[in-house]
Structure 1
Amino acid sequence: MKILHTSDWHLGQHFMGQTRQAEHRQFCDWLVTQADAHQIDAIIIAGDIFDTGTPPSYAREQYNEFIVALHRTGTRLVVLGGNHDSVATLSESRTLLAQLHTQVIPGVAADPEQQVLVLPRRDGTPGAVLCAIPFIRARDVLQSQAGQSANDKQLSLQTAIHDHYRQLYAMALAKREALGLPLPVIATGHLTTVGASASDSVREIYVGALEAFPTSAFPPADYIALGHIHRPQKVGGLEHIRYSGSPLPLSFDEARQTKEVLLAEFTPQGLQRVLPLEVPRFRHLQSLSGTLAELQVQIRDAAQSGSAEQTVWLDITVAIDDYLSDMQGKVLAMAADLPVDILRIRRARGNAASVMQQQSKLTLDELQPQEVFSQRLQSEALEPQLQQQLMQLHDQVIDELRTEQA
Structure 2
Amino acid sequence: MRIIHTSDWHLGQNFYSKSRAAEHDAFLNWLLKTAQEQQVDAIIVAGDIFDTGSPPSYARELYNRFVVNLQQTGCQLVVLAGNHDSVAMLNESKDILAWLKTTVVAAAGATPFLLPLRDGSPGAVFCPVPFLRPRDIVTSQAGLSGQQKQRQLLTAITDYYQQQYEAACALRGDRPLPIIASGHLTTVGASKSDAVREIYIGTLDAFPAQHFPPVEYIALGHIHRPQKIGGQTHIRYCGSPIALSFDETGRRKCVNLVTFENGALAEVTELEVPVTQPLAVIKGDLASIESQLEQWRHAPSQPPVWLDIEIVSEDYLGNIQRKIQQMTAELPVEVLLVRRSREQRERIMAGEQRETLSELKVEEVFARRLALEELDAAQQTRLEGLFRETLYSLEERDL
Q: Tell me by how many angstroms 1:279 deviates.
A: 0.7
Identical residues among aligned pairs (%): 53
Matched with 1:117 is 113
What is the CA–CA distance in structure 2 between the aligned matches of 1:24 and 1:183, rounded to whole Å?
Answer: 33
Residue 311 of structure 1 and its aligned partner are, at CA, apart by 1.6
In 1, the alpha carbon distance for the partners of 2:258 and 2:108 equals 25
Deviation at 1:307, TM superposition (A): 3.2
Task: Kindly provide the amino acid, as one letter, of the partner of residue 99 in structure 2.
Answer: Q
> By how many angstroms is 1:147 displaced?
1.6
Given that residues 323 and 355 in structure 1 are in contact (C-alpha distance below 8 angstroms), is that contact kept between their aligned partners in structure 2?
A: no
Deviation of residue 333 (structure 1)? Answer: 1.3
Give per-residue Cα distances to partners, 1:132-163, cap 9 Å, x unaligned.
Answer: 10000111111111221111111111111111
String of CA shifts for 1:215-242, please: whole Å, max 9, x gaps. Answer: 1110000000000011110000100000
What amino acid sits opposite 1:347 in the alignment?
R
Q: Give the stretch that moved more between structures: 288-297 or 19-28.
A: 288-297
**Equivalent-residue separation in structure 2 for 1:126 and 1:351 (angstroms):** 59
Alpha-carbon shift at residue 356 of structure 1 (Å): 11
Question: In 2, distance between residues paired with 1:119 and 1:138?
Answer: 28
C-alpha contact 1:201 1:251 (8 A) present in aligned 2 = yes
CA distance in 2, matches of 1:273, 1:186: 14
Q: Distance in 1 between matches of 2:348 and 2:167?
A: 64
TM, length-normalised to structure 1: 0.84
User: SS at the partner of 1:330?
Assistant: helix
1:337 aligns with 2:314: no
**Structure 1 CA distance for aligned equivalents of residues 326 and 172 of structure 2:** 65
SS in 1 for 2:124: strand
Matched residues in 2 for 1:282 and 1:325: separation? 31
CA displacement at 1:326 relative to structure 2: 3.3
Change in CA separation of 1:356 and 1:148 when aligned onto 2, cut-off 3 Å: closer
1:381 CA displacement: 3.2
Residues 281-290 or 93-102, more deviating: 281-290
State which drifts further: 128-137 or 336-345.
336-345
Superposed, 1:79-228 pairs within 5 Å as: 79-109=79-109, 114-177=110-173, 180-228=174-222
Q: Structure 2 counterpart of 1:107, which letter?
A: A
Change in 2 beyond 3 A, CA 1:259/1:302: farther
| One of 264, 267, 274 as aligned partner of 1:273 | 267
**For residues 118 and 347 of structure 2, what CA distance do their matches in structure 1 show?**
65
Contact preservation (8 Å) 2:11, 2:49: yes
The answer for the alignment partner of 2:304 in structure 1 is 311
Aligned length: 360
In the alignment, is the contact (CA less than 8 A) between 2:11 and 2:50 conserved in 1? yes
Q: TM-score, normalised by structure 2?
A: 0.85
State which drifts further: 151-160 or 282-291: 282-291
Distance 1:108 1:324 in 2: 46
Post-superposition offset of 1:48: 0.3
CA contact (8 A) 2:317 2:356 kept: no
Cα distance in structure 1, aligned partners of 2:116 and 2:349: 65
Is 1:348 aligned to residue 344 of structure 2?
no
Alpha-carbon spacing, 1:351–1:51, altered in 2? closer, same or farther (3 Å): closer
Moved more, 198-207 or 343-352: 343-352
SS state of the match for residue 187, structure 1? strand
Listed as ranges, the matches of 1:11-90 within 5 Å are: 11-90=11-90
- The whole-number CA distance in structure 2 between the counterparts of 1:356 and 1:147 is 36
Instruction: Tell me what 1:292 maps to.
Output: 286
CA 1:305–1:215 in structure 2 vs 1: closer, same or farther (change >3 Å)?
farther
Deviations 1:107-135 (A, max 9, x none): 112xxxx4311000111111000001000
Structure 1 residues 351 and 382: alpha-carbon distance in aligned structure 2, compared to 1, 3 A threshold: closer
Computed over aligned residues only, the root mean square deviation of the Cα atoms, in angstroms, reads 2.3
| Pairwise CA distance, 1:76 | 0.9
Distance 1:324 1:236 in 2: 42
- Greater Cα shift, 292-301 or 190-199: 292-301
2:367 corresponds to which residue?
Answer: none
1:255 and 2:249 correspond: yes
Label 1:322 to 1:172 Cα distance change in 2 as closer, same or farther (>3 A). closer
What CA distance in whole angstroms lies between the structure 1 residues aligned with 2:86 and 2:346? 43
2:377 counterpart of 1:381: no
Matched residues in 1 for 2:182 and 2:329: separation?
A: 47
Counterpart CA distance in 1 for 2:130 and 2:217 is: 15
Deviation at 1:338, TM superposition (A): 1.9
Unaligned runs of 5+ in 1: 361-375, 384-406
Q: 3-state SS of the aligned residue for 1:115? A: coil
3-state SS of 1:241 partner? strand
Which has the higher Rg, Structure 1 or Structure 2? 1
For the 8 Å contact 1:305–1:312, the answer to whether it is kept is no
Does the C-alpha gap of structure 1 residues 116 and 208 become closer, same or farther in structure 2, counting only changes over 3 Å?
same
Q: Quick check: 2:317–2:339 contact (8 Å CA) kept in 1? A: no
Judging changes above 3 Å, is the alpha-carbon distance between structure 1 residues 169 and 301 closer, same or farther for their aligned structure 2 residues? same
1:398 aligns with none
CA apart distance, 1:297: 2.6
**Post-superposition offset of 1:282:** 1.3
- Report the 3-state secondary structure (helix = DSSP H, G, I; strand = E; otherwise coil) of the residue aligned with 2:256: strand
Shift in Å, 1:194 = 0.7
Question: Residues of 1 paired with 2:176 and 2:153: CA distance?
Answer: 33
- Which residue number corresponds to residue 230 of structure 1? 224
Does structure 1 retain, via aligned residues, the 8 Å contact 2:256–2:271? yes
Q: Is the 8 A contact 2:296 2:331 kept in 1?
A: no
